[in-house]
Amino acid sequence: MALNDHARLGLLIDGVYQIEVTNISVQFDSGAVRIDTLEGLAGKSDGSGSVTISVSQAIPLGGLEFDFVSALATGTYHQMQIPIGAKSYIGNGWFQSGSGGQGVNAASEAGWEWTGELSELE
């Protein structure tokens, strides 16, 4: 077994690094539509791509690092950046949904989902 260093996903919202993140999930979707004919797969039709970022984060006593609830309420656009190795995904989008909660003997956590434009890694 080889020993390797692996990238750790981070998150920047409007250029500010988020330190309370406990889980990040990123889904890249090309938006392409499959085209089938009687002979089989004929190709694809390009669509508008999108990126969905789902995050869970601890809630400090002082409050949320980023007020995603206000962003949800106002529908404002925000820039997300996720460093992936030597490159980063950077895109603009909006907060689609959010939640919060706490279990017995567990930290309070918030979670949210952001939807944005598909762009190449920079």
- pLDDT single digits (tens) 48-96: 999 999 999 999 999 999 999 999 999 999 999 999 989 999 999 999 9
The total number of residues shown for the chain amounts to 122
The pLDDT value given to residue 1: 54
Q: Is 89 exposed, middle or buried (0-12, 13-18, 19+ CB in 10 A)?
A: buried
Rounded average pLDDT over 30-58:
93
Residue 112 has pLDDT above 70, yes or no: yes
Q: Where are the domains of the chain?
A: 12-32+47-117
**Mean of the per-residue pLDDT values of the chain:** 92
Confidence of residue 4 (pLDDT cuts 50, 70, 90): low
The pLDDT value given to residue 2: 59
Written as six digits, the tokens of 43 are 């190709």
Residue 3 has pLDDT above 70, yes or no: no
- Cβ atoms of 13 and 77 closer than 8 Å: no
Written as six digits, the tokens of 24 are 């990040």
Rounded average pLDDT over 1-20:
82
The sheet that has 21-29: what strands, in order across it? 16-17, 12-13, 77-84, 87-101, 109-117, 50-58, 21-29
Written as six digits, the tokens of 14 are 């409007």
The architecture in CATH of the region 12-32+47-117 reads Beta Barrel (2.40)
Residue 98 has pLDDT above 90, yes or no: yes
